[in-house]
Amino acid sequence: MKAVVTVIGKDMVGILAKVSTVCANNNANVAEVTQSILEGYFCMVMVIEISKLTCQLDELEASLKASVPDMVIHVMHEDIFNSMHRI
Amino acid sequence: MVNFNDIMETITMIQDENLDIRTITMGISLLDCADSDIERSCEKIYKKITAKAKDLVSTGEAIEKKYGIPIVNKRISVTPIAMLVAASGGDPVKYALTLDRAARDVGVNFIGGFSALVQKGFSAGDRELINSIPRALAETQFVCSSVNIGSTKAGINMDAVKMMGSVVKEAAELTKDNQCVGAAKLVVFCNAPEDNPFMAGAFHGPGEPDVVINVGVSGPGVVRSALAKLPADAPLNEVAELIKKTAFKITRMGQLVGTEASRMLGVPFGIIDLSLAPTPAVGDSVAHILEEIGLEQCGTHGTTAALAMLNDAVKKGGVMASSSVGGLSGAFIPVTEDAGMIDAARKGVLSVEKLEAMTAVCSVGLDMIVIPGETSSSTISAIIADEAAIGMVNSKTTAVRVIPAIGLGDGDELDFGGLLGKGPVMKLRPQSSQKMIDRGGRIPAPMQSLKN
| Nearest residue to B153 via CA among B442, B450, B385 | B442
Q: Exposure pattern of B27-37 as b/e (b: 16+ CB <10 Å)?
A: bbbbeebbbee
Q: Which tens digits make up the pLDDT trace of B306-321?
A: 999 999 999 999 888 8
Phi, psi of B293 (to 5 degrees): -65, -30
**Cβ contact B11–A74 (<8 Å):** yes
- Nearest-neighbour CA in chain B from A78: distance (Å): 8
Residue ranges of domains in chain B, CATH in brackets: 25-190 (3.20.70.20), 217-443 (3.20.70.20)
CA distance B206 to B34: 13
Look up residue B337 and give its DSSP letter. Answer: G
Q: How confident is the model at residue B368 (pLDDT cuts 50, 70, 90)?
A: very high
Higher-confidence residue of B283 and B127: namely: B127
- Quick one: B65 exposed, middle or buried, by C-beta within 10 A (0-12, 13-18, 19+)? middle
Residues of B in contact with A86 (CB under 8 A): 2
Predicted pLDDT of residue A70: 87
Task: Give every CB contact of residue B69 below 8 A, 6+ residues apart in sequence.
Answer: A76, A80, B14, B19, B20, B21, B63, B253, B257
- The predicted model gives B250-255 an average pLDDT of 89
Closest CB from A6, A56, A81 relative to B65: A56
Residues of B in contact with A79 (CB under 8 A): 67, 256
Q: Does A51 touch chain B (CB under 8 A)?
A: no
Q: Quick check: bond before B228 cis, omega within 30? A: no
CA distance B317 to B74: 25
Residue to test with chain A: of B5, B8, B9, B11, most A Cβ within 10 A: B11
Is the predicted pLDDT of residue B432 greater than 90, yes or no?
yes
Using an 8 Å Cβ cutoff, are B307 and B361 in contact?
yes
Using an 8 Å Cβ cutoff, are B151 and B190 in contact?
yes
Closest CB from A38, A75, A79 relative to B256: A79
Q: Is A74 helix (H, G, I), strand (E, B) or coil?
A: strand
Q: How confident is the model at residue B363 (pLDDT cuts 50, 70, 90)?
A: confident
Predicted pLDDT of residue B218: 84
Is the predicted pLDDT of residue B42 greater than 80, yes or no?
yes
Q: How confident is the model at residue B1 (pLDDT cuts 50, 70, 90)?
A: low
**Cβ contact A80–B6 (<8 Å):** no
Q: What residue of B is the nearest CA neighbor of A72?
A: B15
Could you tell me whether strands A2-9 and A41-49 are parallel, antiparallel, or unpaired per DSSP bridges? antiparallel
Q: Which tens digits make up the pLDDT trace of A41-85?
A: 888 999 999 999 898 888 899 999 999 988 889 898 988 888 888
Closest CB from A45, A47, A84 relative to B252: A84
**Cβ contact B68–A75 (<8 Å):** yes
CA distance B238 to B243: 9
Q: Which tens digits make up the pLDDT trace of B291-300?
A: 999 999 999 9
ipTM associated with this complex = 0.85
- The predicted model gives B298-305 an average pLDDT of 96
Task: Give every CB contact of residue B46 below 8 A, 6+ residues apart in sequence.
Answer: B98, B101, B102
Using an 8 Å Cβ cutoff, are B400 and B188 in contact?
yes
Architecture of domain A2-85: 2-Layer Sandwich (3.30)
Predicted pLDDT of residue B245: 92
Look up residue B230 and give its DSSP letter. Answer: S
Predicted pLDDT of residue B324: 87
Using an 8 Å Cβ cutoff, are B132 and B173 in contact?
no
CA distance B202 to B110: 10
Residues of A in contact with B8 (CB under 8 A): 6, 38, 43, 45
Where helices occur in B188-275 by DSSP H, the ranges are: 220-228, 236-265
Q: What residue of A is the nearest CA neighbor of B64?
A: A58
Using an 8 Å Cβ cutoff, are B284 and B278 in contact?
yes
Q: How confident is the model at residue B187 (pLDDT cuts 50, 70, 90)?
A: very high
CA distance B265 to B211: 10
Task: Give me the amino acid identity at B371.
Answer: I
Q: How many residues does chain B have?
A: 452
Q: Exposure pattern of B69-100 as b/e (b: 16+ CB <10 Å)?
A: bebbbbbbbbbbbbbbbbbbebebbbbbbbbb
CA distance B254 to B150: 31
Closest CB from B7, B69, B255 relative to A4: B7
Predicted pLDDT of residue B449: 84
Residues of A in contact with B69 (CB under 8 A): 76, 80
Q: Using CB atoms and an 8 Å cut-off, which of residues 247-276 of chain B contact chain A?
A: 249, 252-253, 255-256
Average pLDDT of chain B? 93
Which residues, listed in sequence order, are joined to residue B61 by a DSSP beta bridge? Answer: none
Q: Which tens digits make up the pLDDT trace of B219-228?
A: 888 999 889 9
- The predicted model gives B164-173 an average pLDDT of 97
CA distance A44 to A56: 22
Task: Give every CB contact of residue B447 below 8 A, 6+ residues apart in sequence.
Answer: none
Is the predicted pLDDT of residue B266 greater than 90, yes or no?
yes
Q: How confident is the model at residue B49 (pLDDT cuts 50, 70, 90)?
A: very high
CA distance B213 to B273: 11
Residue to test with chain B: of A80, A82, A87, most B Cβ within 10 A: A80
Is the predicted pLDDT of residue B63 greater than 70, yes or no?
yes
- Nearest-neighbour CA in chain A from B266: distance (Å): 20
Residues of B in contact with A74 (CB under 8 A): 11, 14-15, 68
Predicted pLDDT of residue B5: 84
Closest CB from B6, B65, B66 relative to A81: B6
Is the predicted pLDDT of residue B9 greater than 90, yes or no?
no
Closest CB from B1, B66, B253 relative to A47: B1
Is the predicted pLDDT of residue B452 greater than 80, yes or no?
no
Using an 8 Å Cβ cutoff, are A32 and A46 in contact?
yes
- The predicted model gives A3-14 an average pLDDT of 89
Is the predicted pLDDT of residue B327 greater than 90, yes or no?
no
Q: Does B1 touch chain A (CB under 8 A)?
A: yes
Q: How confident is the model at residue B410 (pLDDT cuts 50, 70, 90)?
A: confident
CA distance B179 to B343: 20
Q: Does B67 touch chain A (CB under 8 A)?
A: yes
Task: Give every CB contact of residue B452 below 8 A, 6+ residues apart in sequence.
Answer: none
